[in-house]
Amino acid sequence: VWTDVYSESVSPIILKQVLLFCPNLQNLLISGSSALNDKLMEEILKVNHLTELSRLTIDNCPNISCTTFQTLLDLKNKLTLVRIWSCFSITREESLILHRKIKKENCDTYLEWHAWFG
């Protein structure tokens, strides 16, 4: 899902339609979506645990926080790659928390974080 963060082209309804009904989704890239947030992801993950998800890239989504990524790491899925690029709400300190969680829980997941430079 690729959009411009300043447009309304991808609404929460569209994200729900895509993510609620794709239980076999393996790769997901969401870029430039201000509609993506923790509450929306919580609603989606209650219905679809994304158990087949292997690669996740969230790029320039200013309203998503570390909470969603912690939840995804706690779920039974096949995540091997998580990229968090230029997400305003996720700080370096929070990325380090996620790195420690991955290491502590011996997850086979590579996490890549790049700061937001707005």
The Cα–Cα gap between 103 and 18 comes to 31
Q: Which amino acid is at 93?
A: E
pLDDT of residue 6 exceeding 80, the answer is: no
Q: Across all residues in the chain, what is the average pLDDT?
A: 91
Provide the 10 A C-beta neighbour count for residue 63: 16
Read off the pTM: 0.90
Domain spans, the chain: 12-114
Q: What is the pLDDT of residue 11?
A: 85
Tell me, what's the pLDDT at 7?
56
- State pLDDT tens for residues 22-76: 999 999 999 989 999 999 999 999 999 999 999 999 999 999 999 999 999 999 9
Strand partners, 58: 30, 84
Q: How far apart are CA 109 and CA 111, in angstroms?
A: 6
